[in-house]
Structure 1
Amino acid sequence: MSGTSTGETPAAARPSPPSNWNLPNALTTLRIVLVPFYGWALLYDGGDSILWRSVAWAIFVVAMITDKVDGDIARARNLITDFGKIADPIADKAITGMAFIGLSIIMDTWWMWTITIVVLVREWAVTLLRLSILKAVVIAAAKSGKWKTAAQALALGFLTLPLLEVGDEVGWLEIPGEVAYVVAIALLLVAFALTLWSGYEFFRDVWKQRHTIRRRVEA
């Protein structure tokens, strides 16, 4: 019978995929564009400029806010695109990576460089796995990963500020600056621990899912 339904939705009735030209993708692109400006402001005059360190902090805050906003808008308006799936994590890792590297150059200590190297290896390994071989494996974002992101943002944001430098210029800010710096280092250590733990959880879940899929295929 010509009127028999096949149960398939006609192609014309299917919703068209959202265009890559949308607000969330524009905000993601903005974050990527801000990375070199943030790095330049952070490292200006060897990181000793109070003015430019403050500018770098403002840029970092804008990047963190747009990171939250673009995701909320994309989900609320169903504007999730392939470009956004790829560019969003790259933008996040680019700005935080620049912060880790820039602060390591400024602080120039073995322990800061160690934290930076370990964090960057973990972050990019997870990102590359999500974008490549894990297309068929869905790993939900764990709470530890969300806490890691928040702790990283707070720690890097505080350390971007000229907390120690401002005390050299304004005497009464010396002690508050040093206290804030100690708090920032504590947050950095918390972020480092959460980075290691969330990385362990991610790779553990990947192994479990891939092992489960392999057993189903072999059954």
Structure 2
Amino acid sequence: MNLPNVLTMLRIFMVFIFVSLLPHEGLSFKVSALAIFIIASLTDFFDGYYARKYNLITSFGKIMDPIADKFLVLAAFYMFTLMVFIPIWMFVVIALRELLLTGLRLIAVRHGIVLAAEGMGKVKTVLQMGAIISFLIFLILIELVTKGRCPEIYALRVYLWSYTLMFFVVGITVFSGMAFLWNNRRNFQHVR
């Protein structure tokens, strides 16, 4: 197993750590969850970078990398839904888009067709990661508020920012998914 594939598997493992840390009260749990999420997100960048730079692209990586990416993002949004930070409809819209497009990409890979990520998809990923990090910062601020180390207004502002950002996340998630389907419609004709 090469380095990019190890990073992909590490990302999947880190999702379980992230999800186990998030529900616990305490500043150290929230800071650790944020750190784990950021490190896991960075493995997404580095596995692709090393795979392309050193020609270490494998069938395993083509399949597992997008699965690991979606697993990380969907796990975070699912946890935020359980914590009642975002409404369930937002999670459902994001999950349906991610699962549909990832499924189509995996089917295309099995037919030897590579459906490359588009610019709008990269913007979507950045917004999703930004929203997740913003909610994690909110959780840290809440811990600080309970200890009297942070004014409540700061936590409220971060929450309102995070929640507002989620509408942009949902919008770009839907729009980028539709654009991806439209731009790859000819490729899908070959995948039957």
TM-score by length of 2: 0.89
| Residue 138 of structure 2 is aligned to residue 141 of structure 1 | no
Matches within 5 A, 1:137-176: 137-161=113-137, 162=139, 163-176=141-154
Q: What corresponds to 1:113 in structure 2?
A: 88
Can you list the C-alpha shifts for 1:105-135, whole angstroms capped at 9, x where unaligned? 1126xx5211001101110110011101463
Counterpart of 2:169? Answer: 191
Distance 2:13 2:188 in 1: 36
- Structure 1 residue matching 2:117: 3-state secondary structure: coil
Whether 1:122 and 2:97 are equivalent positions in the alignment is yes
Local SS of the residue matching 1:172? coil
Whether the 8 Å contact between 2:108 and 2:115 is mirrored in structure 1 is no
- The alpha-carbon distance between structure 1 residues 82 and 137, as it changes in their structure 2 partners (threshold 3 A), is closer
**In 2: Cα distance, 1:138 partner to 1:69 partner:** 20
Q: Within 2, Cα distance between the matches of 1:141 and 1:133?
A: 13
User: Could you tell me how far 1:171 is from its partner in structure 2?
Assistant: 5.0
Query: Which of 55, 62, 77 does residue 32 from structure 2 map onto?
Result: 55
1:210 offset after TM fit, Å? Answer: 4.0
What's the counterpart of residue 69 of structure 1?
46
Give me the whole-angstrom Cα distance separating, in 2, the residues matched to 1:71 and 1:173.
41
In structure 1, stretches of 5+ residues that fail to align are 1-20, 215-219
Q: Give 1:136 shift.
A: 4.7
The answer as to whether partners of 1:27 and 1:66 remain within 8 angstroms in 2 is: yes
Q: Is residue 179 of structure 2 the alignment partner of residue 204 of structure 1?
A: no
Shift of 1:166: 2.7
User: d(CA) in 2 for partners of 1:88 and 1:138?
Assistant: 13
Paired residues, what number?
A: 188
Shift of 1:170: 2.3
- SS of equivalent to 1:139: coil
Q: Distance in 2 between matches of 1:43 and 1:193?
A: 28
Q: 1:41 aligns with which of 18, 21, 31?
A: 21
Taking the aligned partners of 2:108 and 2:176, their CA distance within structure 1 comes to 19
Deviation of 1:165 after TM superposition, in Å, equals 3.9
Cα distance in 2 for partners of 1:125, 1:102 equals 21
Report the AA paired with residue 36 of structure 2. I
Alignment partner, residue 10 of structure 2: 30
- After TM superposition, the structure 1 stretch with the greater mean CA deviation from structure 2, 176-185 or 121-130, is 176-185
The CA distance in 1 between the partners of 2:145 and 2:89, in whole Å, is 27
| TM-score normalised by L of structure 1 | 0.78
- Match of 1:104, SS? helix
Bigger shift: 200-209 or 57-66? 200-209
